[in-house]
Structure 1
């Protein structure tokens, strides 16, 4: 009877991968399984999130990235309400700051509309999903204009105090 030797390379590879994750040397692209927002995914090339961070720290880091560069929101699938509120704050800041065509944050509003294309995305502001759904079938620029008007009429929605920060 001959014994087949257990391949050492797969075992070492598995152990090395576990150690790398535990030390935070890898970049994650989702919250851990079983987390409330486990369906939320992001492009790890846009968000350098270490694998040893706790979920709250992950979400905080992503919100900071959205605050600094709102365009990265487009690289998130099923954003959390907190991430959406961060984008809404950027939209609101542009609306307050500017006037004319530059004041309309069409690119940011378009990303918000795209995020709500999935029924899995949780609503961050009451009525937002209904406002987006009411423009279904409209030209994209009309959808952005309609939603921008909806958001401009709701200044209190952006003044939500996030107790987890």
Structure 2
């Protein structure tokens, strides 16, 4: 610094900015990664919650309407639960593509709210037939979804019903 003058020189200012930059780049990287992980984990938690709610409702529908007339069509993408009571409406779970994205419908209603930003990767139902020495069938359902930037969440549910 020059004698008799107060203040900082351009060189001192540039050195202090360089030192501040060296310190701030790693700190901002750590903060960015922390926020990014928070939002991804938050989306993952929401995806897990919504998938569990949908799977619980589906298995409950199968259990509460346990009839011999449960059919699966279109390679497992349509699950039809025919009710024994003619007054009650049959339940149809169907994976459909609407507007370029997959939606899971329960009769004609979307299982997930559109504003939840849920993408359905897979919905598949299958009936594992009984063997000769077994008196029940297993209805197995697979549901895989993504919310926002989460990883895929895949749940598998099953219901065993007596057949004989």
TM-score, with structure 1 as normaliser: 0.28
Structure of greater Rg: 2
Q: Would you tell me which structure has more strand in proportion to its own residues? A: 2
Q: Would you tell me which structure has more helix in proportion to its own residues? A: 1
Q: Which structure's relative contact order is higher, taking Cα pairs within 8 Å and 6+ residues apart?
A: 2
